[in-house]
Structures are given as structure tokens and as C-alpha cells.
């Protein structure tokens, strides 16, 4: 049966892995994992993010771009040349795949802010890159930034995930973190720029579910200079993480709690000190909270995180084998690539699984108190 014209409220598949010792692994592994969950997609979206894939250019920002036409490419390259030193510009390597039709123009650029830009820069290097991404996506018609981090890249498009992975030749890349996504669009269009992952700097997000708070999240982000242009609700999550963690200085766990906060009745039952911190978090970041059913995997240069909405309306599993951690929508996607895992568990609703390089699983004991950070941002 074809589901292309149907709404599937539980579709989309997620998978991810991290080698906490920094070992790099072929992208073929994440393709094999996501392919097991083919029925969670419908050919309208698939994508991947890999970290550590550009070791020879690790000190350059790798901009992945998709263009509707040559005019968009020319305008974007003129924009980049104005504020960046472009070390290398080339088409992203692909191979023919009969199931991947009508791809846009796909290019990548390895750049650093130019010496003149750095001399007069009044913001951080990361803020400058964020401004450039927002400018390209909102001002250059037909140009969309797929990813913009150092030593990381996102590869996505319209098609089944395994076909997208083959199209982008991911078997030729190696990374220490991989995430994959099989998309089943529910309320938003299936198009190349709207496939997952969504990224900003080294944040990358894959998502199963629906962000029903998209409107208020979008307006909240606009107050801080973020512009949502990719026609998919998940885009706000990448920008919210950048805002809460990089700009406001929250810990990963505190940011996750702000995005999926406890219910007020549960806060009322907490000890006084913890209750005060949680009330402050909910009040300050009320417009950042994500409503709706969701399971999320997000990665950044130092880790991989998985978490659910507050009542776990979407599935998520986690597992460990040696120095490697796995997360996926279904256990079968993990066992397909790691049949001998030592531990498998289902994370609790709203409780993030945080795995960091060199540390492994981050426990509650390693988390900073939230109240001081939150009050400094209010």
C-alpha cells in the first residue's frame, strides 16, 4: 500500500550512534540501521549527519548548500566571497540512484571568516556564521544551507533514507557520530530542504512527531535573530538549542528540561530548592517549550542526545556496546548493526539520554544546578 497521500501520525524513523573514544566508522553503518525501518518513511524524505568526516579541513566551516538554479549559486558564492575566505568550493559528490529523482544543485564550501572580517568583527565567529546562514536562507531565493559546522556535514533529500545515503556516497565517509532519519511528512511538505536533519553550526536534529508549538517557538526565536524558512516544524529545535546552550550557557540537560519541562503538578511535588529552579526554568523559557508528541535525536561536536516529550508519545530506544552508544526508534535498528549489545533500555518520558565524547553516559550527578543559569538570562 502507498502512503504518499496519507497522514501517518506515528511515522518517521530515527537512528544514531556515537563512539565515545572518537573512533570513526563508515557511513554505511548508519544506512544499514535506518534501512531496517523503511516502513517509517514513504520516500518523501531521508537524511544523515556525520561528525569527524572532514579531518583534512577540520579547522574550516563546511557549508553544504542546495540550490534551485545557477543564479542562486552565483549569488550565494558572491555573498560568501564578501565575508569569508573560501578555501575550497566543489559539488558534493553523488552517484546515480534510480530512486532519487530531480535533485537540486548540491555544493559544499570550506570557509573561514576573512582576515578583514575578523579584524572588524564585533560578534563571535559562531554568531557571524549564524548570521550568514540566516541571510542566505532568507534573502537569496532558491538557496538553502544544509549544514554549516566544522568537521561535520548533513546530507538529505527526497527519497527513502537508504537511497539518499547511497546517492550521497556515505559509505565513503567516516565519522565518530552518525544520525539518520526516515521521513514520513505529516503536516509539512516533503521537499529537499525540508528533509531532516536540520542543522545550525554543529547542532543537528532528527525528529519523529509533531511540534504543535511551532508558531510560538518561531516567534520567540525571531526576537533573537533566528529566521525559520525551511517549512518544517523541526527547524525550530536546532535554533532553540543554539540559543539555550551556546548563547545562554545552559547545560545540555537543563536545555532539554526547558524544551520538555515537567508538568506543574510534578513541580509542586519537588523539594523546595529543586522546585524553585524548575519554576524559574518554566517561566523564563515558556516560549521555548515544545508541545506535541516527539522523539528527538540531536548531535553536536561533543555528544549525542536522545529524548522524548513529557509523556513519551513517540518511541525511542537506547543501547550500549563497549565504547559505543546507540539510539533509535526501534530496537531492531540497533541490533541490525550491533547484535551483541550489552544493555538495551527505553528512556523515560522527558528524561534525556546524554552521551559525550570521552565520558560516555552523563548522569544526573554531573549536571549543574539550573536556577543560577536561568536567572542570569531572565
Q: Is the pLDDT of residue 370 over 50?
A: no
Secondary structure of 275-304 as H, E, C letters: HHHHHHHHHHCHHHCCCCCEEEEEEECCEE
Please state, in angstroms and rounded to a whole number, the distance separating the CA atoms of residues 359 and 375. Answer: 28
pTM over cut 0.85: yes
The whole-angstrom separation of Cα 103 and Cα 96 is 11
Rounded (10°) CA dihedral 123, 124, 127, 132: 80
What's the whole-number average pLDDT of the chain?
92
Q: Give percent above pLDDT 70 in the chain.
A: 93
Identify the pLDDT of residue 153. 98
| Rounded-to-integer distance, Cα 33 and Cα 17, Å | 10
For residues 147 and 47, the answer to whether their CB atoms sit within 8 Å is no
Please report how many Cα atoms fall inside a 13 Å half-sphere around the Cα of residue 186, on the Cβ side: 17
Provide the pLDDT for residue 211.
94
- Close Cβ partners of 359 (under 8 Å, ≥ 6 residues apart): 20, 366
- Cβ atoms of 164 and 11 closer than 8 Å: no
Choose, from 8, 12, 99, 256, the residue flagged as catalytic.
Answer: 12
Distance CA 228, CA 240 (A): 11
Task: Please indicate whether residue 184 or residue 314 has the higher confidence score (pLDDT).
Answer: 314
pLDDT of residue 189: 81
Q: What is the pLDDT of residues 15-73, one digit of tens each?
A: 999 999 999 999 999 999 999 999 999 999 999 999 999 999 999 999 999 999 999 99
The more confidently predicted of residues 1 and 67 is 67
Name the band, by pLDDT with cuts 50, 70 and 90, for residue 364.
Answer: low
Which DSSP letter does residue 244 get?
I
Between the CA of residue 273 and those of 99, 269, 351, 368, 372, what are the distances in Å?
A: 56, 11, 20, 13, 12
Are the beta carbons of 317 and 331 closer than 8 angstroms?
yes
| Each residue's pLDDT tens digit, 215-244 | 999 999 999 999 999 989 999 999 999 999
Cell 518520558, residue located = 349
What is the third-level CATH fold of 13-59+153-377?
3.60.20
CA 97 to CA 293: how far, in whole Å? 34
Which alpha helices (DSSP H) does the chain contain, by range?
A: 28-35, 70-83, 115-120, 125-139, 161-167, 214-222, 235-241, 252-259, 264-268, 272-284, 331-335, 371-377
Q: Which residues fall within 8 angstroms of residue 271, CB to CB, at 6 or more apart?
A: none
Count CB-CB contacts under 10 A for residue 118: 12
Degrees (nearest 5) of the Cα angle 209, 133, 114?
150
Look at residue 132 in the predicted model and tell me its pLDDT.
97
Domain residue ranges of the chain, discontinuous segments joined by +: 13-59+153-377
Beta carbons of 364 and 49 less than 8 angstroms apart: no
Work out the average pLDDT over 313-340: 97
* 61 alpha-carbon distance from chain centroid: 17
For residue 10, name the pLDDT band (cuts at 50, 70, 90). low
Q: Minimum mean pLDDT among 34-48, 53-67, 179-193, 329-343: which range?
A: 179-193
Backbone angles phi, psi at 238, to 5 degrees: -60, -45
Q: What is the pLDDT of residues 246-269, one digit of tens each?
A: 999 999 999 999 999 999 999 999
Is the pLDDT confidence value at 87 over 50?
Answer: yes
What is the distance between the alpha carbons of residues 280 and 173, in angstroms, rounded to a whole number?
A: 44
Establish whether 377 is a catalytic residue: no
Amino acid at each position: 500500500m502507498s502512503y504518499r497521500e496519507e497522514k501517518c501520525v506515528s511515522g518517521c524513523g530515527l537512528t544514531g550512534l556515537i563512539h565515545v573514544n572518537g573512533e570513526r566508522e563508515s557511513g554505511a553503518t548508519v544506512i544499514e540501521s535506518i534501512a531496517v525501518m523503511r516502513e517509517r518513511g514513504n520516500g518523501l524524505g531521508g537524511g544523515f549527519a556525520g561528525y569527524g568526516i572532514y579531518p583534512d579541513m577540520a579547522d574550516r566551516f563546511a557549508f553544504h548548500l542546495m540550490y534551485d538554479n545557477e543564479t542562486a549559486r552565483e549569488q550565494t558564492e558572491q555573498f560568501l566571497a564578501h565575508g569569508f575566505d573560501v578555501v575550497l568550493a566543489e559539488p558534493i559528490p553523488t552517484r546515480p540512484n534510480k530512486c532519487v529523482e530531480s535533485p537540486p544543485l548540491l555544493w559544499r564550501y570550506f570557509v573561514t571568516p576573512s582576515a578583514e572580517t575578523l579584524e572588524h568583527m564585533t560578534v563571535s565567529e559562531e554568531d557571524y556564521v549564524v548570521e550568514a546562514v540566516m541571510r542566505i536562507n532568507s534573502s537569496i531565493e532558491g538557496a538553502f544551507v544544509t549544514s554549516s559546522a566544522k568537521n561535520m556535514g548533513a546530507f538529505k533529500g527526497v527519497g527513502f533514507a537508504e537511497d539518499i545515503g547511497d546517492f550521497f556516497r556515505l559509505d565513503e565517509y567516516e565519522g565518530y557520530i552518525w544520525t539518520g532519519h526516515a521521513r514520513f511528512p505529516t503536516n509539512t511538505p516533503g521537499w529537499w530542504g525540508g528533509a531532516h536533519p536540520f542543522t545550525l553550526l554543529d547542532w543537528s536534529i532528527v525528529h519523529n512527531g509533531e511540534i504543535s508549538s511551532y508558531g510560538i517557538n518561531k516567534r520567540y526565536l525571531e526576537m533573537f535573530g533566528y529566521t525559520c524558512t525551511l517549512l518544517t516544524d523541526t527547524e525550530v529545535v536546532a535554533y532553540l538549542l543554539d540559543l539555550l546552550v551556546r548563547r545562554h550557557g545552559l547545560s545540555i540537560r537543563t536545555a532539554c528540561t526547558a524544551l520538555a519541562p515537567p508538568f506543574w503538578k510534578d513541580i509542586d511535588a519537588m523539594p523546595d530548592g529543586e522546585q524553585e529552579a524548575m519554576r524559574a526554568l518554566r517561566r523564563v523559557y515558556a516560549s521555548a517549550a515544545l508541545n506535541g508528541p516527539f522523539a528527538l535525536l540531536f548531535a553536536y561536536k561533543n555528544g549525542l542526545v536522545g529524548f522524548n516529550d513529557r509523556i513519551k508519545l513517540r518511541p525511542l530506544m537506547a543501547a550500549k556496546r563497549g565504547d559505543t552508544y546507540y539510539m533509535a526508534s526501534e530496537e531492531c535498528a540497533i541490533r541490525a548493526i550491533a547484535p551483541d549489545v550489552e544493555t538495551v533500555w527505553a528512556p523515560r518520558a522527558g528524561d534525556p539520554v546524554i552521551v559525550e565524547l570521552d565520558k560516555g553516559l552523563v548522569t544526573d550527578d554531573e549536571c549543574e544546578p539550573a536556577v543560577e543559569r536561568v536567572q542570569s538570562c531572565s
